[in-house]
């Protein structure tokens, strides 16, 4: 399975948690170095807690599932 597919699958697994709070996440890209770019939407977009959610929730989970990922950043 390609790195992009693994990342997209992990995002699909974390998406329901964000949607439960009125937000969502969209996969944008993954670099060869393992940096994942996503876009937070809905209630997550502009939320003061979005960066914490991204790093402590989304990034931690994706790195656990896909060890090749080095970081997750928001566009």
According to DSSP, the residues that pair with 5 across neighbouring strands are: none
Q: What is the CATH number of the domain that holds 30?
A: 3.30.300.130
DSSP letters spanning 11-73: HHHHHHHHHHTTEEEEEEEE-TTSEEEEEEEETTTT-TTHHHIIIIIIIHHHHHH-TT--EEE
The CB density around residue 70, as the number of other CB atoms within 10 Å, is 13
Provide the residue range defining the domain that includes 51: 3-74
Q: pLDDT digits over 7-46, tens only?
A: 999 999 999 999 998 999 999 999 999 999 999 999 988 8
Confidence at residue 31, expressed as pLDDT on a 0 to 100 scale: 96
CA 73, CA 1: separation in Å to the nearest integer?
A: 22
Q: pLDDT digits over 45-71, tens only?
A: 888 888 899 999 999 999 999 999 999
Overall domain count for the chain: 1
> Is the distance from CB of 27 to CB of 8 less than 8 angstroms?
yes
pTM: 0.91
Confidence at residue 44, expressed as pLDDT on a 0 to 100 scale: 87
């Amino acid at each position: 399975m390609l790195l992009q597919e693994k990342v997209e699958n992990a995002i699909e697994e974390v998406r329901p948690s964000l949607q439960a709070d009125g937000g969502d996440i969209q996969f944008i890209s993954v670099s060869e170095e393992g940096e994942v770019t996503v876009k937070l939407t809905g209630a997550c977009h502009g939320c003061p807690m979005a960066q914490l959610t991204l790093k402590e929730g989304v990034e931690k989970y994706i790195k656990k599932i896909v060890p090749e990922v080095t970081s997750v950043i928001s566009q």
